[in-house]
Amino acid sequence: MKLHTVLFAFLILAPFSVCAGQHTPATVPEYLLEVSFDIPQSKIIGTAAFNVQTGQEISFSTGNLSINEVTLNGQKVDVAVQEKVLKLKPLQSGELVIRYEGVFKGDNAVSTANDGVTESVISEKGVSLTGIWYPQIHGLCRYRLKALLPPGYQAISEAERIEKSAENGGGTFTFDFPHPVDGINLIASSRYVEIRDTFNAIELYAYFFPEDRELAKAYLAYTKKYLQQYETLIGPYPYKRFSIAENFLPSGYSMPTYTLLGQDVVRLPFIVETSLGHEILHQWFGNYVYIDYEKGNWAEGLTTYLADHRFEEQRGKGWEYRKQILIDYESYVNSKNEIALKDFRGRTDNASKAIGYGKAALIFHMLKNRAGEDAFIAALREFVKEQQFRKASWEDIRAVFEKQLKKDLEWFFKQWVDNAGLPAIEAHRIAVKQNGDTYEASISIGQREDVYMLDVPLTVSFPDGPEKRQTVLIDKAKNNVTEQFDRMPGKIIIDGDYDIARHLDEDELPPVIARIIGAEQPVVAAAQDDAEKYRSVIEAFKERGAVERKAEELSDGDIKNATLIVLGKDNPLLKRLFSITGDDAGFTVIVKENPWNPRKVIGIINALSKEEADAASRKIFHYGKYSMLSFEKGKNTLKSIEESRRGAALWKKEKTMAIDVAALTTLPEVIERVATKKIVYVGEFHNRFEHHAAQLEVIRGLYAKNKKIAIGMEMFQRPFQKTLDAFIAGTIDEREFLKKSEYFKRWSFDYNLYKPILSFARAEKIPVIALNIEREIIEKVSKGGIDALSEEERKELPRSMDFSDAAYRERLKEVFQGHGHGTLKNRDFTNFYQSQILWDETMAQSIDAFFRDNPDYQASGQMVVIAGGGHLAYGAGIPHRAHRRNGYSYAIILNDGEIEKGIADYIAFPEQVDAVAGPKLMATLQEENGRVSIAEFSEQSIAKAAGLKVGDILLALDDLPVHSIEDVRIHLLYKKRGEPLRVKVMRKRFLFGDKVMEFTITL
């Protein structure tokens, strides 16, 4: 017996029984059932009878039934029930009669195969028999049912005519259904209010409980609407009667001539516009044309496509519905639970639904697009006509479409029905170029893993005209397509309407709750002090396969590789990943992309109290399509989905940028405009003297307006703040400052670039703030990630970090990939990304800490931050992160930056400064064990010309001892070009021993 289900998480699929293979209505055997009830005892007493043939092997599924007696032609037959199956082989033909009883209480009739939903119950609330409530056998039968029920009951079963008569103090119902079916069901209640209506010659009934009587009118009105639509679309309704029955159990079934909906389902306001239509369509597909389950259940996909999907298509939201199908597939289906459509029998979980309902619906959508609307509907009409009251398979669907289209479709059904999985396509390149007076688009489309034959849709839009839609055939791993246009396209989208079943690209897949629900062993983590507050949430996720871990125990590797449910917005895990703000609703759920692994997501759940958590924790799982939820006392108050890219790939002609020349200004005018900003960021290319001159101009201009100014510098690291303070205060000289700050060890650029800024700060006693974290930590993280740091090193990390800026991540990825043959070769991008964010967050924290530690600056002070332009562009590096901490106003000035929208507040173009660089030896030095030696010479080296050789150990410069490369660079800083430099070296000799030698180099 097969029950077609409404699309809800709590609904079930009952097993089916069939009497005897494929039969025509004239030859199908009859199965006679008579049942009565003892309602207080939850008992059914039944007699089953039908004719058997000599030697016919026959078996009955008995479930929890008790078999009291079996007779053949009135003679008792000894049989035994083993493993809930009764088997026998009659020695003669005749009438086999089985007398049985069954008890169906609400607490012992649960189907473990169907999400724990109760299948059959007999109680004072009513009778709902949709499981094994009579001995069931395999095959189509013509059932005749007579049921004796107490007075006042109404009963529904598969029937075109129901007769009721008074008998034995109760009511006897006789159900007549003159067609073969694979099983029957029985529903009854003493509380039903029967409401009647008609549509054409079809009798309509609604059996609703008194408290929901008014809903029945709406259900009957919508039923007429759907019958009208489907008769026009597919053909006449196959029966004389249709009923809608309300059930006291949480059910949602469709059986021939009626649908059974649980009371909670009936009361949902959207059911009449969605699932009711789905269930009525099952009267044609599933209840008129039966399903050959051995070869795959096609009916759920077809019904989903022609009902649920069609409703959304009529609202103009068909592409969104199809995209949601693919989002669900990505969320719930994985290599362990992925099956082919030929192996789909029915919905047992979210993954099977995503395949059997979702993927199958898309298969029919692709079939319709290939056949055309008229041919598609014509084929379905023929399919219904040919297969009525027969078991049909995907092969029968293929045959009718091949007949209609006069084409071989074996390849289509093989790749979509016989094979598991979905194709993955990606656009390697989309380029548009002018070719004479036409334009040519070159598109390279690839397929990962299995290669499919696909009609890939292209949508081409033009600035001054309608869109152009076309398809291109791809059937190889790499496909090159060229399209010609008479105008310059404005946009090209690949599969922007989601017309093909395929894997979604990362940018198309939004972070949604379904990706947490469908993950394999997600990790649910609360801070140690919050575990009991979130206990109901933890247990709800653990029931679905999650693993509980303490937040404090998770390593960065755990965070990167797992799907996480993080409990509490103050959870220490979040401080390592995101900046979390938002409302303080009683209970909130926010799903974000894992910034260290975009194919994973992180769910952030926050509750104001244990009561709020308890009220909402079980409801989360009904909102899988959403990225954000809010609840108050268990009632949903907000739900939203984060936007994601539409289409497998997008090419867009950028608008031509233009500058209003009249709006051009000067740097002094910019200084006037930013004078009110708390923080002014001025970017640089580190080796450009003119950029540093512009920075000093900004500092001088702002200092003239506000003496309470500070300078934040990327070039210095925080452990050397006291050295910076001493230099600015004048208590140490420049040589000592450079030595103690390890400037030449930690920053590779000429000190002369920054000397004017530092000299001005020293002269005016302007605080200079070392913004950066130690270089050793950055390098360690870049190589091995934050997990590579020691406990002592981890103490230096910022208290909170935000890795969620996807656009910044992509820009950093381009930088990383551009250094693939340099210092970043063979390194992991995630580690590089962590090091860059750590760099930015540390500098932002240093800025914030200065203001917090200096109340007078917090009140009326200002800071100029000088850093590389990459840390400032679009505000993504330092500015947004500092603003997150303190909310201070700021402005960004870049030097010689690209003119792009949002990149900065101002871009300066300073005149080139030809500064005199400090003198150099033009030799590569190496340092080991306190000794500095010459490793090699550059071309036209003045040191080599003076007589020095590779391997010489530098002992002194102008009689000043040399112990480090830093000593050399500091000494050269104070020399001028053209001056002599006396160099004392030790030269190793093979035969005569080491020799100290002295040379004079003209710089």
Report the alpha-carbon distance of residue 341 to residue 298 in Å, rounded.
Answer: 8
Concatenated DSSP letters for 593-644?
Answer: E-TT-TTSEEEEEEESSHHHHHHHTTTGGG-TT-SEEEEETTEEEEEE----
Give the span between the Cα atoms of 159 and 149, in whole angstroms.
Answer: 17
Identity of the amino acid at 706? N
Q: Chunk the chain into consecutive blocks of 10 residues (it has 1003) and report each block's average pLDDT, rounded to whole numbers.
A: 41 34 62 96 96 90 94 92 91 93 73 50 95 91 95 95 82 93 95 96 96 95 97 96 95 93 92 94 97 96 97 96 97 95 95 97 97 96 96 97 96 97 91 87 89 94 85 93 88 94 94 95 91 94 93 88 92 83 83 90 95 95 95 94 92 80 89 96 94 96 96 96 97 94 91 94 97 94 91 90 90 81 65 94 97 95 96 96 95 91 93 81 91 93 94 94 93 91 90 87 92
Angle in degrees, CA 799, 803, 806, rounded to 5: 160
CA atoms within 13 A on the CB side of 559: 27
Q: With the CA atoms of 879, 883, 886 and 890 taken in that order, what torsion angle do they form, in degrees rounded to the nearest 10?
A: 70
H-helix or E-strand containing 71? strand 66-72
pLDDT at 3: 52
Residue with tokens 């099983």: 183
pLDDT at 107: 53
Angle in degrees, 0-180, between the axes of helices 829-853 and 806-818, rounded to the nearest 10 = 120
pLDDT of residue 1: 45
Question: Residue 248 phi/psi, 5° resolution?
Answer: -80, -15
pLDDT on residue 17: 33
The SS3 of residue 970 is helix
Closest CA to 778 of 796, 765, 766: 796
Cα separation of 354 and 338, whole Å?
10
State the Cα–Cα distance between residues 8 and 189, nearest whole angstrom: 24
Maximum Cα–Cα distance across the chain: 130
Mapping DSSP to helix (H, G, I), strand (E, B) and coil, where does residue 506 land?
helix
DSSP state string for 227-249: HHHHHHHT-S-SSSEEEEEEESS
Reduced to 3 states, what is the DSSP secondary structure of residue 519?
A: coil
Neighbour count for residue 747 (Cβ, 10 Å): 20
